[in-house]
Amino acid sequence: MRKIIKIVIPLVLFWMTPLISHSQMLNINITGIRGMSGNLCIAVFTSAYDYIKEKAYIIECFSKSTLQEGSICINMSLSPGTYCLTVHDDEDGDGKMRYNVLGIPREGFGFSNLDQNRLRRPSFDEISFTVDQDEVIDVNVKMRYY
């Protein structure tokens, strides 16, 4: 058993090295955040299909404890590719978006690199960005509350 472990662990680490070494830094600048309670949940999508079906590639939640004047910068690592991201201000910490009777969100939300107020959900192409090899990407998200 020990021999198997001694062989398998180095193989797994060797296999994962290219995945780790090719990750690029993503700086997510989120502005217009309301309040200090709850969490900010970021969902990263890799395709239009996954975005429409809300099947995120990565979902990470962050505390708003480091929030300064309604803004925060969050760093993530992503492999080269095309992505879009959404941000949910989970004010009550339940992990779900709350809606009013008309279906309008009661908690804050934002999309990558979208600076327009709209009543419809933007398409993947409107909010997508490309992460290239050896590049630091800045993505801006402006939160909206209704």
pLDDT of residue 1: 54
User: pTM for the full model?
Assistant: 0.81
pLDDT in tens, the chain (146 residues): 555 555 555 545 555 544 454 689 999 999 999 999 999 999 999 999 999 999 999 999 999 988 999 999 999 999 999 999 999 999 998 989 999 999 889 999 999 999 777 778 999 999 999 999 988 999 999 999 98
Question: Distance from CA of residue 91 to its chain's centroid?
Answer: 17
Radius of gyration of the chain measured on its C-alpha atoms = 18
CATH of 23-142, one of 3.40.50.800, 3.40.50.720, 2.40.170.20, 2.60.40.10: 2.60.40.10
CA distance 34 to 46: 28
